[in-house]
């Protein structure tokens, strides 16, 4: 693919015709010292991470809700 001026002028990261995989901030899942499940997403551009703590006793409820959203 050529990178000539004509193509560069047409290209835009916001154009859905060109972008096939959009960026996704990393997601980690782990157990904290209290035994709860932590879902953590890396903050964009050095901002603070987003953190969700799910009590282990409610983990099945979370999984069920996710499955419902997927239509399973």
Instruction: Give residue 6's pLDDT band: very low, low, confident or very high (50, 70, 90).
Output: low
User: Do 35 and 55 touch, CB atoms closer than 8 A?
Assistant: no
For 32-70, what is each residue's pLDDT tens digit? 999 999 999 999 888 999 999 999 999 999 999 999 999
Strands 37-41 and 27-31: antiparallel
Q: Is the pTM of this model over 0.85?
A: no
User: Do 60 and 43 touch, CB atoms closer than 8 A?
Assistant: no
Mean pLDDT of 2-7: 55
CA torsion 27-55-70-30 (nearest 10°) is: 30
Distance, CA of 12 to chain centre: 22
Decide if pLDDT at 1 tops 50.
no
Decide if pLDDT at 23 tops 90.
no
């Amino acid at each position: 693919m050529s990178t000539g001026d004509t193509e560069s002028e047409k290209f835009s990261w916001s154009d859905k015709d060109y972008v096939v995989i959009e960026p996704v901030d990393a997601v980690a899942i782990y157990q904290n010292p209290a035994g709860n499940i932590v879902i953590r997403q890396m903050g964009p551009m050095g901002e603070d991470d987003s953190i969700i703590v799910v009590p282990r006793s409610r983990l099945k409820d979370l999984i069920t809700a996710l499955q419902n959203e997927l239509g399973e």
